[in-house]
Each structure stands twice: as structure tokens, then as C-alpha cells.
Amino acid sequence: DGIRELDARISVCRACPRLVEWRESVATEGRRAAFADQPYWGRPGPSFGDPDAEVLVVGLAPAANGTNRTGRMFTGDRSGDWLYAALHRGGYASQPTSVASGDGLVLTGLRIVATVRCAPPANKPTTEEKATCAPWLDRDLELSEPRLRSMLALGSIAWDAALGAARRRGWLVPRPKPTFGHGAEVILRTATGRPVRLVGSYHVSQQNTFTHKLTEAMLDDVIARL
């Protein structure tokens, strides 16, 4: 089907020279000591979850030792521990942890996508890299649109990416551009006038969770609105 083909195409993309170099160098000589005996994925992260999802979660980019190691979105790092535990509490994930492919995790009704699919140095993609990767997000949105009910943007970069993708698909997006915040919410309209809810959340990164800027209750609250 379309999603499988899309995921296969994404996973061999080499459009961003800096990110190809980074993802591959981390996967070879740059492996974290704790994972030195593991093979790293070292490629772009395809979407993960239900191909027939009514909900999309939009992340920022793979972590160098997380998705770039395991090949699955938000898998193998602390951000993922937070996200999957919350998706399990919310009824979308079959188990609270995501370890690696083959661990039995299944998402129902929800799929995870990202603004940029390759791990960027310092978790910071450039403006050009975000623009280069945007067509993959556009295609994910296009394939999901017939069933799509809502999107959760993790962080302001994902929020902007979701709004950009919606505009490019000809959806009605309020102007001025809706402002990101934790709990921010806007109703977008597809070209056929169907409402799609966009909800903002602080990103599940350690920076936010360790400092309690983002709590489990805050995350549960935005997931409940999807």
C-alpha cells in the first residue's frame, strides 16, 4: 500500500549531505559506548504505527542513538520512553515501551511521523534540511488525509511543519499563523472542508521532562484531546 511504499522510499533517501554524513558517522565510528556491540540503522526514520491512523504525531527528528540506532521512531531513547508510556495510557499503544522492531509493539489509530527523518547534529536541522524533508511529510499527510481527525505536534518546529504541510495541501489554515504553545489548539480544514484538529505539546525531550516543564499529566491532557 501507499504507506509501505512511502516508508521504503524514505528509508533510502540521501537528499541532505550533512545529515547523511552525520547519520552514517554516528552509526559507524560514533556509536555510544553502551551500544557499541549493536548494529545501527544509520538511515532515515520511516513513519511508525497504524497505516490507517486517524491521528498523526509529528516529531522533530530522530535521535542519533535512538531512532538512528533502532530504525523506529522515538525508540531507544528517553524521549520515546515518555511518549510511548503516554500513548499506552491513552489507549493507542499495545505496550508502554518501545525497544526495537520485534518487541511486539503495535499502535492502533495513530502513526508517528517527523519533520526531518534523519538525525541532525545537536538535534538541530537547518532551514534548508527542513524544507528538503518536507515532501515526505506532505506525502504522509496526503495518504492519511481521508481518515485524519487530529495531529499532535511535539514542539514548535513540528507545529510549523504541520501547518506548512497543511497549507501546501490546500487546507484552510487561519492567518495570522496560530501560535505554538503547550495545549495550543487550532481547527484546520481540508480542501473538502473537513475539520482536522492540530494540538501542540511541549516536546518529550529530556530537557523538558527532567525539568518538569512537561509533566505526565500535561502530556496525558493533550493526548486526550486527539
The footprint of ligand SF4 (CB under 6 A) covers: 10, 13-16, 19-20, 44, 116-118, 129, 132-133, 136
Question: Does residue 140 interact with ligand DU by CB under 6 A?
Answer: no
Question: Does residue 107 interact with ligand DU by CB under 6 A?
Answer: yes
Which of 44, 46, 49, 120 binds ligand DU (CB under 6 A)? It is 49
Question: Does residue 50 interact with ligand DU by CB under 6 A?
Answer: yes
Least Å distance between CB 13 and ligand SF4?
3
Question: Does residue 45 interact with ligand DU by CB under 6 A?
Answer: no
Whether the CB-CB separation of 96 and 68 falls below 8 Å is answered with no
Q: Would you say 38 or 108 has its CB closer to ligand DU? A: 108
Q: List the x/- string, 52-71, binding to ligand DU by CB under 6 A.
A: --------------------
Q: Would you say 113 or 152 has its CB closer to ligand SF4? A: 113
Give me 72's grid cell: 523506529
Which of ligand SF4, ligand DU, none does 162 bind, CB closer than 5 to 8 A by kind?
A: none
Count the neighbouring beta carbons within 10 Å of the beta carbon of residue 207.
13
Q: Would you say 41 or 82 has its CB closer to ligand SF4? A: 41
Which of 35, 91, 96, 101 binds ligand DU (CB under 6 A)? It is 101
Q: Which residues bind ligand DU (CB under 6 A)?
A: 49-50, 101, 106-108
